[in-house]
Amino acid sequence: MLKIPAKYKRCGIKIKCLKCKFQVSDKCKQNGKNLNSCPHKDSHKYNLIVCVPNSPGSRRTKVLDTTDFSVAITELQKFKNELSSNSFHKSKVNQKVIMKPRLFDYASDYLNSMSGENTPAILIRKRSKEHIDDVTRIILRFGTSLKKAGYNYKGLELKDIGDTEVSVFHEYLLDILHLNTRSYNKHISAMRTFYNWAERVKDYQGANPFNHVELKKVVRTEKSIITKDDFTKLLDVITYENGFDKDKKNHYKIWLKTAFRLAIETGLRREELVTLSWADIVPLEDDKLVFRINNLKVNRIADSQDNGEYIKNVPITKSLMLLLLELGYESKRTTNDFIINRPDRSDLKYMMDSLSRSFAHFIKQVTNKKLEFKDLRKTYITHLTLALGADAKLFTGHTNDEVLKGHYLNGAFLAGNLREFKIFE
């Protein structure tokens, strides 16, 4: 949302909605609602207003195409000088100035397109908050690398970025941040994707300088999985007394044991796990059951939506059924309650963050192995692959779109046939 700092309220810069043709402040002049809820935020523009001397009520205006208030301040002074030199008679009224494609203006639009803010519906490419945070951090790091190298990076256009500037970023990532191979590749790929977006959405005609960077070869290591013994010990150490870290913060949550057990029995990612509900259980023939949920990751990539045509079938195996019975399957199976109970009404992000941080805290009390919460998913996939071979991909989400579509029904019934499967024999 465009804003005007308080000290500049009377400087001659206003905000105008090109959709409604109203001048706005903190609220829409048409419906009286807060601008944060305005459906036309992408049509709000800075409007320069200069009063003509000795002519009460006479004004000259100019609409700018920029989201940077500092640029608006500069343009206001230029506009005043231009009007003064032309005796306030030769300037066009309501002339829209097309600003140059500045790097960080486009970056702001790019990030908005992933969150759905100030973006036309057809241009939204919805991504998770974690992904948006990662991309934001990467773009800011690119700016920091240029600033440290002496660039006035806020004024740079897309076309100003070439091999020299990319090399500055390259050296910053390796020599200053000391990123490993995977993180380095992630940073370069994110900037490459940003430029591809500018070309596709903003009709940028220049080259993509990040295409010149050769990504580093990743040496694949053995996947980390947790053993039955370590997992049992992990559940045992999850107590309030063991929850304190060196900063006296307690990582214990009453629902942690349930969450970890459910994670290793389903192989679901954090967001899928904490939103899993009893209503997601679907009965098949012969008393077979599966969880049928939206494949969040694939749907967001394919359609920029949380809900879509891509479905994930999670087999309710013998060991998973025992867990569900412990959690009240008989009484809750017809409800819309979450499988992981939320006694403190915790929100989604809080629970997702807690899963990762709490796992990291408690697993250190069990083993010296470098294990993370996501390794529970790897453990599930490993055991499932041993049982099913290539068919395991039907339940992990690791497949292309055509395979997902082609195996949708088969996947559901094959999931039902896994009711005798146990994650740990």
Work out the burial of residue 391: count CB atoms within 10 Å of its CB; fewer than 13 is exposed, 13-18 middle, 19 or more buried: middle
DSSP string, 273-322: HHT-BGGGEEE-GGG-EEEEEE-HHHHHHHHSSSS-S-EEEEE--HHHHH
Instruction: Please tell me the predicted confidence (pLDDT) of residue 90.
Output: 45
Reported confidence tier of residue 9, pLDDT bands at 50, 70, 90: low
pLDDT digits (tens, 9 = 90+) for 339-360: 998 766 667 888 888 999 999 9
Which region among 148-152, 221-225, 305-309, 371-375 has the lowest average model confidence (pLDDT)? 305-309
pLDDT band at 148 (very low <50, low <70, confident <90, very high): very high
Q: Binning pLDDT at 50, 70 and 90, where does residue 377 land?
A: confident
High-pLDDT (> 70) share of the chain, % = 73
Would you say residue 296 has pLDDT above 90? no
The confidence band for 366, taking pLDDT boundaries of 50, 70 and 90, is very high
Residue type, 151: Y
Question: Tokens 């919805």 — which residue?
Answer: 126
Highest mean pLDDT among 49-63, 114-128, 325-339: 325-339
Q: Give the Cα-Cα-Cα angle 243, 321, 233 (nearest 5 degrees).
A: 30
Binned at pLDDT 50, 70 and 90, residue 334 comes out as confident
Q: How far apart are CA 419 and CA 258, in angstroms?
A: 20
What is the structure's pLDDT at 211?
94
- Can you give the pLDDT at residue 369? 87
- The pTM (predicted TM-score) of the whole model is 0.51
Per the listing, tokens 């998913």 go with 377
Least confident of 88-92, 109-113, 221-225: 88-92
Is residue 266 within 8 A of residue 274, CB to CB? The reply is: no
Q: Answer with the residue of higher pLDDT: 310 or 213.
A: 213
Residues contacting 414, CB < 8 A, separation 6+: 315, 388, 391, 394
Amino acid 293 reads I
pLDDT value of residue 22: 66
SS3 category, 96 = strand
pLDDT the model gives residue 269 = 87
Task: Give Cα separations from 289 to 169, 204, 377, 379 (angstroms).
Answer: 51, 51, 21, 22
The yes-or-no verdict on residue 307 having pLDDT over 70 is: no
Confidence tier at 216 by pLDDT (50, 70, 90): confident
> Residue 91: pLDDT above 80?
no
Mean pLDDT of the chain, nearest integer? 79
In this prediction, residue 75 carries a pLDDT of 82
Q: Is the pLDDT of residue 230 over 90?
A: yes
Confidence band for 92, pLDDT divided at 50, 70 and 90:
very low
